[in-house]
Structure 1
Amino acid sequence: KQATLHLERSFRSFAVLPAQQQMALFCILQKILFDEELLRALEQVCDDVAGGLWSSQAILAMEELTGSQQQDLTAFLKLVGYRVQGEHPGPQDEVSNQKLFATAYFLVSALAEMPDNATVFLGTCCKLHVIPSLCHLLHALSDDSVCDFQDPTLAPLRDTERFGIVQRLFASADIALERMQFSAKATILKDSCMFPLILCITLSGLYTLSKEHEEHLCQSEVHATSQD
């Protein structure tokens, strides 16, 4: 729970962005989650920007991207406080909003540390609009290893197919998630702490960006579910 509160503070720079900018960032991140090459290039560029020195690896990573990937990478950097003067980012550019860029770099680094296929499962969860439910689930499980599945906030996860995807996401982070009749139980695999923490970081960042939009969708779904 302490980690959750700390993460809320860590992503404050995202929370205070205009709604339109939040959604633009969230939409680009969804693309990045399904594109490992783009994620690796973005991580390399962010590493170099943070270090204040562009390396040959970053330039090469940029050059190997398609035009569409370069556009997404450039758009992302512009949205997180990096002033791009030319068509593509380079050594001549500079950070105009240090706090916002640092927050984005924190999230990108966490995404890049996720194990194989985990980002794809995470991207699928974004498309299914269950990020608020996953954050609520993690928060509930941090109090106790078992949580009440009758909780209205978890309604979107009652669907068997959705829960299966969530199970696979959690499993990739070394968390065994088991569904019982009216509850869910989570067990962190022995000696594992890094991947569960990375999952918390990525979910918290994505939730902060999509909070208002996603909560509205989830409330609509809860209402629809209660009518079925």
Structure 2
Amino acid sequence: MFATATSNFVQEVDHGGLLIPLASLNDTIALLTVVVKRRRFWVWQKPKYIPTDFNLNDILTGDTPIKPVVIETDFIKYNGTFGDHIQGTIDANFPYTNVSIEGKDSSKLQSSFGSLKKEEVDVQTLLRESKDRILDMTHGLVQQTKEKSRQVFGIVKERILTTQPSSVIEEVQQGGQCGGGLSLCGPKTPKVSLKENGSLSKDSNVTMEIPIHTTLAYALIELEIKQDGRYALCLMSDTRGYFEVDGAPKKGLTGIFGAPDSENSHLTQELEQLRDHFQLLSALPATTRSSLLRQITEVMADRGAVSSLQDVMEQMCFDKTPALGEATTTESQKQNIQAVLELLEQSGQAASKPVLSALYLITSAMDEMTNDCLSVLGTCCGLTVLPALELLVQCVSGTGELPLSNASLAALTEDVYEKTERLFASSNVSLKRDGSTVKTKINHMAGNLPLVLCIAVRGLASLAHCD
């Protein structure tokens, strides 16, 4: 819950900026804390940040600590009340299962962060004090981090923290009816807030007290580290840290293709390089495909379950035993993930690296989606709707126009079309009907959202293909 609260906070106050939400109350974040930034396998995935128990002075040689000037300022005072009421019906058709789901959600969200404070290091002072300083290259943290090509060091230069006791509160009433034997009560975007002297209410009336001086978010300066331990601060936001290896920077950008253009002008090329993954899923036995689609659709109802599933897929792709016992994974999420793993085991695909890689690709794309995009996509996983969505995402990466007379688009009833418009809009793609054609257009500076939409839709549609 805390991770959701900080993530929502950063999305509201610094969307697309440099702030990183703190994921756990167990993490201690202070100025100059060393954070390991791990780049992911696919270049469009957001990196993971792993706070350590060390600060910069702990890994420096010499006895003189760096003591930069710290600037404290008032950041923001945030108050707000939100409420919504959602009612809808979802019909999902699979080869052996018809699912009818009716759900009603109402929520009231009272948000009061109170007055927040910002602490930041004076970078000019830090730059001067870092001159001629050397990292201890024999330190255990340095040794373990530099061994992995996609990991670099960052140090905390700024943090946002509370100035008064707070808690997480949400009032939710949920109701739903499910038919067809599939346990799924509709995707729901989690909403969490901090409220002074409040309590957490999420169906089970759990209270999470957040103490004063708790860090909510932070920003980093990455380090360029030479073989001899000399280091430089990455002062520009587009400059990335690295460990120098054999005289050359170890930049660590792995993955299938190079860094994408900011406007996704090479969307077609990037999807073409992933075509084998989609074809591999289409070639699976029909029963395996339908079962996987049903299980993944169920997982999509929970944002946390999607993140956990893609973590498990990543571990399996790199020959690691999947860890389902992490504290951040709920029992319901574990059950959903375990169901997918058991299905792979029963179908004989659990040891197939190509299949695991293809599923990792899809779940990673879904994990990069916005909450709204993932929520809507979860309602569009029927066997007739997915082929229509696949045609539309091919249109996005192609000519941008598609005749409405195409038989596969017949599934786009008025209700489904409205959902599809919302799905594309939340991925920075406009979808418009113009006479006898439908037109798509990637919005300016759309980032990676159109790409991850195309990957997720094509992957799910591959599981829905008829023999």
**Counterparts of residues 138-149 of structure 1 (less than 5 Å):** 138-149=393-404
Q: 1:30 aligns with which of 282, 297, 313?
A: 297
Measured in 2, the distance between the counterparts of 1:185 and 1:6 equals 25
Counterpart contact for 1:38–1:65, Cα < 8 Å: no
Question: Equivalent residue for 1:223?
Answer: none
Measured in 1, the distance between the counterparts of 2:460 and 2:304 equals 20
The structural deviation recorded for 1:37 is 2.1
Counterpart contact for 1:46–1:105, Cα < 8 Å: yes
Measured in 2, the distance between the counterparts of 1:55 and 1:31 equals 20
Superposition RMSD on alpha carbons, in Å?
Answer: 2.7
Question: Equivalent residue for 1:12?
Answer: 279
Q: 1:133 aligns with which of 371, 384, 388?
A: 388
Counterpart contact for 2:362–2:459, Cα < 8 Å: yes
Over the matched positions of the two proteins, sequence identity in percent amounts to 26
C-alpha distance 56-79 of structure 1, shift in aligned 2 (>3 A): closer
Measured in 1, the distance between the counterparts of 2:322 and 2:452 equals 26
Query: Is 1:152 aligned to residue 407 of structure 2?
Result: yes
Measured in 2, the distance between the counterparts of 1:49 and 1:165 equals 34
SS of 1:60's equivalent in the other structure is: coil
The structural deviation recorded for 1:13 is 2.8
Counterpart contact for 1:4–1:139, Cα < 8 Å: no
Question: Equivalent residue for 1:78?
Answer: 342
The structural deviation recorded for 1:58 is 5.8
SS of 1:124's equivalent in the other structure is: coil
C-alpha distance 183-12 of structure 1, shift in aligned 2 (>3 A): closer
Measured in 1, the distance between the counterparts of 2:383 and 2:416 equals 8
Measured in 1, the distance between the counterparts of 2:456 and 2:397 equals 16
Measured in 1, the distance between the counterparts of 2:411 and 2:361 equals 28
Counterpart contact for 2:278–2:358, Cα < 8 Å: yes
Question: Equivalent residue for 1:111?
Answer: 366
The structural deviation recorded for 1:81 is 5.5
Measured in 2, the distance between the counterparts of 1:98 and 1:128 equals 26
Measured in 2, the distance between the counterparts of 1:153 and 1:55 equals 39
C-alpha distance 196-81 of structure 1, shift in aligned 2 (>3 A): farther
C-alpha distance 206-125 of structure 1, shift in aligned 2 (>3 A): same
Q: 1:43 aligns with which of 301, 310, 316?
A: 310
SS of 1:176's equivalent in the other structure is: strand
Higher relative contact order (CA 8 A, sep 6+): 1
Measured in 1, the distance between the counterparts of 2:323 and 2:461 equals 34
SS of 1:125's equivalent in the other structure is: coil
Query: Is 1:172 aligned to residue 426 of structure 2?
Result: yes
Higher strand share: 2
What is the one-letter code of the residue matched to 2:331? L
C-alpha distance 138-46 of structure 1, shift in aligned 2 (>3 A): closer
Counterpart contact for 1:30–1:126, Cα < 8 Å: yes
Question: Equivalent residue for 1:90?
Answer: none
**What TM-score results when the alignment is normalised by the length of structure 1?**
0.76
C-alpha distance 174-45 of structure 1, shift in aligned 2 (>3 A): same
Counterpart contact for 2:395–2:440, Cα < 8 Å: no
Q: 1:190 aligns with which of 444, 449, 455?
A: 444
SS of 1:143's equivalent in the other structure is: coil
The structural deviation recorded for 1:82 is 9.6
Measured in 1, the distance between the counterparts of 2:327 and 2:314 equals 14
Query: Is 1:96 aligned to residue 351 of structure 2?
Result: yes
Measured in 1, the distance between the counterparts of 2:294 and 2:407 equals 26
C-alpha distance 56-31 of structure 1, shift in aligned 2 (>3 A): closer
What is the one-letter code of the residue matched to 2:286? A
**What TM-score results when the alignment is normalised by the length of structure 2?**
0.39
Measured in 1, the distance between the counterparts of 2:285 and 2:327 equals 33
Measured in 2, the distance between the counterparts of 1:55 and 1:24 equals 21
Measured in 1, the distance between the counterparts of 2:291 and 2:304 equals 20
Counterpart contact for 1:40–1:112, Cα < 8 Å: yes
SS of 1:178's equivalent in the other structure is: strand
What is the one-letter code of the residue matched to 1:147? L
The structural deviation recorded for 1:34 is 1.4
Measured in 1, the distance between the counterparts of 2:307 and 2:367 equals 7
Q: Figure out how many residues of one structure are paired with residues of the other and give that number.
A: 199
The structural deviation recorded for 1:44 is 2.6
The structural deviation recorded for 1:23 is 0.5
What is the one-letter code of the residue matched to 1:78? E
C-alpha distance 34-57 of structure 1, shift in aligned 2 (>3 A): closer
Question: Equivalent residue for 1:205?
Answer: 459
C-alpha distance 128-20 of structure 1, shift in aligned 2 (>3 A): closer
Counterpart contact for 1:141–1:147, Cα < 8 Å: no
**Counterparts of residues 209-224 of structure 1 (less than 5 Å):** 209-212=463-466
The structural deviation recorded for 1:53 is 4.9
Counterpart contact for 2:396–2:442, Cα < 8 Å: no
Counterpart contact for 2:293–2:464, Cα < 8 Å: yes
Larger Rg over CA atoms: 2
Question: Equivalent residue for 1:226?
Answer: none
The structural deviation recorded for 1:106 is 1.2
